[in-house]
Amino acid sequence: MRRVTTSTPDLWHHYGRTRATTDRAVPETFHWDWSQSGGPGAEVLGDLTGLRVADLGAGAGRHAAHLATHQRPERVDAIDASAAQHAIATGLYGHLTPRLRLVQADVVTHLRSAPNGYDMLYSVFGALDFTDPQHLLPAAAAALRPGGRLAFATLAHYLGGEPAETDVTHADIPAKRSDGQPTTMRRWVLQEQVWTKLLSEARLTDITTDLLPALSEGPRTADTLLVTASRRT
């Protein structure tokens, strides 16, 4: 896979770096909730035996590594545009190839290059949160084989407690450049009905939404919206 070159600053340079030095194991569990400590697990994805799967905005690849190790997919592609996250994932889980393929690429560009290429697409607070859904969801629909499924976890409201958006509007949230200088990045935090409308417009069907309540209280806790949809057969 050709690497993507871009002049856009990598805003994920610092994310997960400390954990990667102390926790290098393949996770034994798969969680969808924001706290990564409860709720449903990989069973939401169904039986992955022999299927082609992609993690959209995989970060350090922990969820993808779990599926590649504990399920029986043909292959899991862990896709992330960040060079820093790709490097961390390679250091942690590069040994899991060929069942796990670590792909540094813009998610929308990658999906557009793989029509009918996947049986299952998923994202856990990944690309669905940080990519314009009006571009990403049609690309995801086209990349799914007929009958293929999409599942993703996203914030049900902002971390400060403010309600999710009633339209396809992003927020500019704090971030850091690799040199530590403050900046912002875009995040889409949308209400359930907005996601449902976008999925329908992308010609996905069998849409379900579930609210996973936060398991604790605090300024950085949040409820999770778990969404699934399918491409028509």
For residue 7, the model assigns a pLDDT of 56
CATH of the domain at 109: 3.40.50.150
Per-residue pLDDT of the chain (233 residues; tens, 9 = 90+): 444 444 578 887 777 777 888 778 899 999 999 999 988 999 999 999 999 999 999 999 999 999 999 999 999 999 999 999 999 999 999 999 999 999 999 999 999 999 999 999 999 999 999 999 999 999 999 999 999 999 999 999 999 899 999 999 999 989 888 888 899 999 999 999 999 999 999 999 999 999 999 988 776 789 999 999 999 98
Tally the domains of the chain.
1
Question: Is residue 147 classed exposed, middle or buried when 0-12, 13-18 and 19+ CB atoms within 10 A define those classes?
Answer: exposed
- Determine, yes or no, domain membership for 192: yes
- Determine, yes or no, domain membership for 150: yes
Q: Which residues contact 163 (CB under 8 A, 6 or more apart)?
A: 157, 191
- Determine, yes or no, domain membership for 1: no
Cα–Cα dist 219/37, whole Å: 17
- Determine, yes or no, domain membership for 3: no
- Determine, yes or no, domain membership for 21: no
Q: Which domain holds residue 210?
A: 31-231
- Determine, yes or no, domain membership for 8: no
Q: How many CB atoms lie within 10 A of CB 3?
A: 10
Cα–Cα dist 142/144, whole Å: 6
For residue 184, the model assigns a pLDDT of 93
- Determine, yes or no, domain membership for 169: yes
Cα–Cα dist 17/185, whole Å: 19
Cα–Cα dist 126/165, whole Å: 18
- Determine, yes or no, domain membership for 131: yes
